[in-house]
Amino acid sequence: MHSENELQLAADVLVVGGGPAAAWAAWAAASQGAKVIIADKGFLGTSGAAAASGNGVMAPAPENWNKALWERYRAGQTLASLRWIERVLEKTWLSMPLVEAWGYRFPKENGESVRESYYGPEYMRVLRKNLLRSGVQILDQSPVLELLLAEDGSVAGARGLQRQHDRTYSVRAGAVVLANGGCAFLSKALGCNTNTGDGLLMAVEAGGELSSMEASSHYAISTAFNATVTRGVPFGWASFTDEAGNDLGGYINGRRDPLFLPTALLKGPVYARLDRATPEVKAVIEKSHFIAYLPYKKADIDPYTERVPVTMLLEGTVRGTGGIKLVDEHCATKVPGLYAAGDAASREFLAGLSSGGGGPNAAWAISTGQWAGEGAATFARRLGAHANERTAHPAGQVGLRSQATSSESFDSEAIVRGVQAEMFPLEKNFFRSEQGLLDSLAKLETLWEQLQTKPKQETVRDVEYSRRAAALTAVARWAYFSALHRKETRSGHIRVDYPETDPNQRYYLATGGLDRLWVRRDWISEAIATPPTPSTPPLSTKIASGAVS
């Protein structure tokens, strides 16, 4: 890994990632007076899922907070935390005016800004500009590959590669925030190919834990002729047919059955036509969901009159909820000095095992990014002026270093294909069973054994791809190992051999381990909440009185 021209830097806080959560974390840390470096795998502002299209934000006006609170809580099926949902709602609502002050132009209604959605490219451009204005040093095209640990087990920085300079680099830091996304297993879902689970692997290597990794089987609908755009809103006005043109139905009480499409696709090709869209809906699709309409436009297809084949793309933990386990309200992890935010962190407190995709995830990125950045800055400040003089060692192993004596290197592309063969098929990952999970885990273990041999490291790309193969394999193993141990169907986790939701399984599954995997039940102590009676003060009143922090 080491090169003679390695760039060596120092900061109080290092933020890993380049999406909204990372940007908010870096800004929050800098606002605390910390010297901050942020390192992104791509170009901060254009890489990642948020920059690829528009998105809603769970930031309703105060008079609508209670409604949003209980909708999100019910979606979590008793696993979400009412307290955390309240915190996210408040923090996000207070933060959106900052985005406007930094230069983002929200649409106006009756003279008031409507701040419940954003256009991704412009949103990220504004966040990047604000970071530069705040004195944050940005390292683009600089994937982080491993953490540095001090002798006492606390985080002391990280090391990575700079593609454009063909060199390694290291950042010594008092604290690190992992905000480099979840894992979509290189499915080509729009904006997700930078989300390969690197942060999850680094956290576990450092001694951290993951949680709710069974919530990693989220798929999204896409046109099959351009299988990348996973915006499902337009398909809410679609009719579905089979190869012969027979109507497949798929709606229950006017809403699409979430099990309909995966079930139908297992039987054969499925086609969609947006013939239920009214003229008003068409206008909304073509303007507000233009990224979803664009594939039709480029292919000269009229989606309202022509049938198109559809498929489902795995979005894994990007729209699922599994990730690094948070241990306090500042988004700290089990590892001293290590914090997590956004999709890299488990969103179980916000969503249980259901998808937090869209508005909830956007709000989670904004709020946890700030909490993690503030927490990291406070931790680094407590270490004092000599924090970066601590003796440190690199924590990365698999995909970076090997004890094998053989000179033969593993094929990282073949490893990735092997992982995808177990994670992509609906019959394996969406419809799960004990035997299916055991079969896939056996194959993933074989891939993990191959990764113990020598990684190819002739170029910086070789090093990056070898490490990426290790992260994808590791995340797949944790996901299926957790899924094996949750013997029920709950939200996005479907077990065909345990089709019912078990009220006695009200716990989070923590997991970790590298060569030897483990799971642990973390029972939820927060009582199951019920919607308030009319005499109960609304959430907006509670926040105004300081009851919610």
| Residue whose C-alpha is closest to residue 481's, from 506, 447, 452, 445 | 445
* Alpha helices, H only, 384-515: 412-423, 426-429, 434-450, 460-485
Number of residues that this document lists for the chain: 549
Is residue 147 within 8 Å of residue 208, measured between CB atoms?
no
CA distance 254 to 81: 30
Which one-letter amino acid corresponds to residue 374? Answer: E
Is residue 41 within 8 Å of residue 26, measured between CB atoms?
no
CA distance 426 to 422: 10
Count the neighbouring beta carbons within 10 Å of the beta carbon of residue 113: 15
Pairing type for strands 108-109 and 112-113 reads antiparallel
The catalytically annotated residue of 72, 87, 128, 256 is: 256
Count the neighbouring beta carbons within 10 Å of the beta carbon of residue 167: 16
Q: Does the active-site annotation cover 486?
A: no
| Residue whose C-alpha is closest to residue 373's, from 179, 221, 122, 93 | 179
CA distance 72 to 85: 8
| Residue whose C-alpha is closest to residue 8's, from 173, 172, 124 | 172
CA distance 84 to 510: 19
Q: Return the active site residues.
A: 256
